[in-house]
Amino acid sequence: MANYNLDITHEHCPMTFVKTKIELAKLKSGDILNVRLTEGEPLQNVPKSAVEQGYNVLSIVETETKGVHIVVIQK
């Protein structure tokens, strides 16, 4: 079970979730993707869309950078 990182802090909707899906597609079932994103629209939509499309959102953690969060998604 491998761990991967993705930074989408510079992306806008809907490319935030597009980029997340592109990365998830490269993972094996059970692998973890740590998605770094900004609060507001990305934080509202990416975890919600991931759950809707059948992925597990394990946790959402705040980083030391203000307004930036890590969404931990398991494939």
Active site residue 21: no
CB of 40 to another protein, least distance (A): 19
CB of 20 to another protein, least distance (A): 10
Candidates 2, 7, 12, 13; catalytic one: 13
Given the rule CB under 8 A, which residues bind another protein?
A: 14-15, 17-19, 21-22, 24-25, 52-54
Q: How far apart are CA 64 and CA 57, in angstroms?
A: 21
The answer to whether 9 touches 37, Cβ cutoff 8 Å, is yes
The answer to whether 47 touches 71, Cβ cutoff 8 Å, is yes
